[in-house]
Amino acid sequence: MGKRRYNAKARQVVKTNIDNSQTNEIKLEFETNEYGSTDTSNLLALPSTKRKTKIISDKQEKTKLLSKAQRKRLEKIVDKKKKKENRAALLESLSKVQATPEEIQHLTTISTVQTLGLRKLNEYKSEEVVHNAEPPEQKKFSSIAGAKKRLRLLRMDNADGNKKKKYDPNVIGLEESTDEESGSDTSNTSFVKESDSSIVNENDEIKSDGENKLTKEVNLEKDIIEISEKQIENTRSDIKKINNNENNSKSTKKIVLNYEKVKKDLQPILDCPKTRVVIKRDPKVQVARLKLPILGEEQRIMELINENEIVIVAGETGSGKTTQIPQFLYEAGYAESKMIAVTEPRRVATVAMSKRVAHELGLTCKEVSYLMRFEGNVTKDTKIKFMTDGVLLKEVQTDFLLSKYSVVIIDEAHERSVYTDILLGLLSRIVPLRRKRGSTLRLIIMSATLRVEDFTENTRLFKSPPPTIKVC
């Protein structure tokens, strides 16, 4: 705003309306000389008080500009009104074209028209035509070839046909054999040979009798069905005898044990570091460490980490999870080729924990460093890296598989911040991808004892529940 001129309000030319009501009431009589001559001043003609004035201002009414939200709201109201008008017009036009109830009675509904099952109906009719057709004359066939097809047709034709036999797993898969089983096998083979000889004889009779071909074929197929049923019954009875024997029970136990061993062997073998790192600690630090409850669980924790990709460590605050587990991993050799990442939800904790772990291990800030937004002391020699959740999320954007790290530790997971939840979802997909590539990634989730079920019972996050260690 520039400087206004001096006394701008008084200098402006404004239209005024003067109130002359008092002056109009005064009666002037110039004929009488009571008020003096014409040359003298007429005091009564002058107003006693200052006249009232009103400034006439030409105020122009400004139209208010509508905001985007107000404009959209008004447009919606207008659209609704238009739709109502169009709907009424549509209903009127439809009522004009609508059929009368008399015309509707003459029409057929869609439900009465057959649309589904036409193909099956045509197939059924064609099969009936085939069955009703006269048999061809002088046609040679073998009674053995195409037996399966004829059996299937017989089952379809018979209204009171036998139901499909259920698969019996006890019939197949026995590796060891006994004397009773071998005896049953010999009896079965002799029975089959007799049936085959009967089939051949019947085939010769069919060739000789050309008129009764179809009837004999049906009888032959029935005999085959009876033979197969008898064989199945014999095998079932033999298997029951085998199961009752003590020797067979021992063999089955051996098979089950072998299966469990094979199942264990089929589990993926994870890469574990082969060399250990020797650390020389200050004796005062070692005494302070021995007071922590997590130090007694070191062997159990490291065994689970070596055997599993995902581990949950639950313990109360002050048990030494954040400071000691990175040291266990460093001693085990997980920081030789790649780094150990530890995420913290707060900036203060990242700085404090990195300094404490470096002091206990007797290392410098170059090897145990921290990184957060606008601050960090990470170098090429860094082995253990403390960082905030957001920093690791940014690294996932550039390197999705997190190829720099061998272990990722998510601390204070029970707080369930947005970054930790997103990280857990991403890491649950990164871990199997790294396994397929041949470089395993360990994920250690550290939380309080109360909220462990959020991770173990979540099947969407982890298909098989990860093992948990409770530090008391």
15-18 and 53-56 strand pairing: antiparallel
In the structure encoding, which two tokens stand for residue 398, read together? 């550039």
* Two structure tokens written together for 134: 């006269």
Please report, rounded to a whole number, the percentage of residues in the chain having pLDDT higher than 90: 18
DSSP for 341-365, written as a single string? EEEESSHHHHHHHHHHHHHHHT--T
Query: Where do the DSSP E strands lie in 220-318?
Result: 310-315
Alpha helices in 347-417 (DSSP H): 347-361, 389-398
Q: Are 333 and 276 in contact (CB under 8 A)?
A: yes
Average pLDDT over residues 299-306: 90
Measured CA angle at 69 (ends 68, 71), to 5 deg:
65
pLDDT digits (tens, 9 = 90+) for 146-187: 677 777 787 777 644 444 444 444 444 444 444 444 444 444
What tokens does 434 get?
């790294």
| CA atoms of 327 and 288, how far apart (whole Å) | 14
> Among 253, 116, 248, 242, which residue's Cα sits nearest to residue 185?
242
**Mean pLDDT (the chain, rounded):** 75
Strands (E), 358-449: 368-372, 375-376, 384-388, 405-410, 442-447
Of the listed ranges 4-13, 42-51, 432-441, the least confidently predicted one is 42-51
- Backbone phi, psi, residue 368, to 5°: -115, 100
Q: Which residues contact 108 (CB under 8 A, 6 or more apart)?
A: none
Say what percent of the chain tops pLDDT 70.
64
- The mean-pLDDT minimum among 32-36, 353-357, 389-393 falls in 32-36
pLDDT (0 to 100) of residue 67:
92
Residue 36 vs residue 83, higher pLDDT = 83
- Give strand pairing partners of 376: 371
Digit-coded pLDDT (tens) for 356-412: 999 999 988 889 999 998 888 999 999 999 999 999 999 998 989 999 999 999 998
Least confident of 40-54, 89-103, 318-332: 40-54
For residue 442, the cross-strand partners are 407
State the helix-helix crossing angle for 298-307 and 321-332, rounded to 10 degrees.
Answer: 60
Average pLDDT over residues 453-472: 83
Write out the DSSP string of 302-343: HHHHHH-SEEEEEE-TTSSHHHHHHHHHHHHTTTSSSEEEEE
Tell me how far apart the alpha carbons of residues 435 and 271 are, in angstroms, rounded to a whole number. Answer: 9
CA gap 258, 264 in Å, rounded? 10
- Residue 284 belongs to what H/E stretch? helix 283-290
Greatest pairwise CA separation for the chain in angstroms: 174
- Give a three-class secondary structure readout of 164-181: CCCCCCCCCCCCCCCHHH
Q: Are 472 and 297 in contact (CB under 8 A)?
A: no
User: Which CA distances in Å does 125 have to 118, 129, 152?
Assistant: 11, 6, 18
Compare 19 and 427 and report the one with higher pLDDT.
427
Q: What is the pLDDT of residue 462?
A: 84
**DSSP track, 47-59:** -SSPPPEEEE--P
**Residue owning tokens 């989730």:** 445
How would residue 31 be classed by pLDDT, with cut points 50, 70 and 90?
A: low
Q: Residue 227 pLDDT more than 70?
A: no
- How many Å apart are CA 407 and CA 335, to the nearest integer? 9
Q: What angle do CA 137, 138, 143 make, to 5 degrees?
A: 110
Please name the residue ranges forming H helices in 42-117. Answer: 68-97, 101-106
How far apart are alpha carbons 32 and 149 in whole angstroms? Answer: 150
Tokens of 254: 């051996």
Q: Euclidean distance between the first and final Cα of the chain, in Å?
A: 72
Rounded mean pLDDT of 277-291?
Answer: 88
**How far is residue 87's CA from residue 288's CA, in Å, rounded to a whole number?**
82
- The per-residue pLDDT for 327 is 92
Residue 123 has what pLDDT? 76
pTM passes above 0.75: no
